[in-house]
Each structure stands twice: as structure tokens, then as C-alpha cells.
Amino acid sequence: MIARSEGVDNHEISQAEAADEILLEKERNHFLQQVIGALPEQLRDPLVLCALEELTPREVAIMLGISEAAVRSRAFRARQILRDRLGAWMGLRR
């Protein structure tokens, strides 16, 4: 026979887990917004325009007055910084 704690059922546990996941997602989004905001403008703009606004590198290059290769390179460097900082943040969260 398996003993069961009084007042605790699977539904309550799953709600608590879901609440934890929602909170973590909100914290992660806030952290990412801070990191993106702290990027140098020359890295932030290509990243935001390509990744969030979904413009093509060509469109971004025209808007910013730089080459498409520079757009790709800067967006790549910005993603690397985000990945590194998010990885460090997630390591601290565990």
C-alpha cells in the first residue's frame, strides 16, 4: 500500500509546477530585456530589427546604412552575448 499525504494531490502539484515555470519564464524575459537594452547600439539594432522585427538583413542594412555582412556579423555577436549571459544567469538560478 502506498501512503498518500493528506491534502496534496497530483492536481495541486502540477499547478505549483506550472506557476514556477511561469515565474521563471517572466524572470527570463525580464533578464533578456535588460541584457538586450545593455548591448551597444551597433549590436542591439541589427539584433532587434532582424530577430524581433523580422526584417531581412538587406532591409536592416539599408535602414542602418551598413553592409548586409555587417548586419549578419553584428546580430551574430549580439546573439553570442545573449547566449553567454543567459547561460550564466541560468547557472546561477539552479
Q: Which of 7-11, 35-39, 60-64 has the lowest mean pLDDT?
A: 7-11
Which set of grid coordinates corresponds to residue 33?
530585456
Which set of grid coordinates corresponds to residue 94?
539552479
Query: What does the alpha-carbon distance between residue 34 and residue 39 come to, in Å, rounded to a whole number?
Result: 9
66-89: average pLDDT = 95
pTM of the model: 0.73
What proportions of the chain, in percent to the nearest 5, are helix, strand and coil?
A: 80, 0, 20
Mean pLDDT of the chain: 87
Predicted local distance difference test score (pLDDT) of residue 34 = 95
Q: Is pLDDT above 70 for 35?
A: yes
Q: Does domain 41-94 have CATH number 1.10.10?
A: yes
- Confidence category of residue 17, pLDDT binned at 50, 70, 90: confident
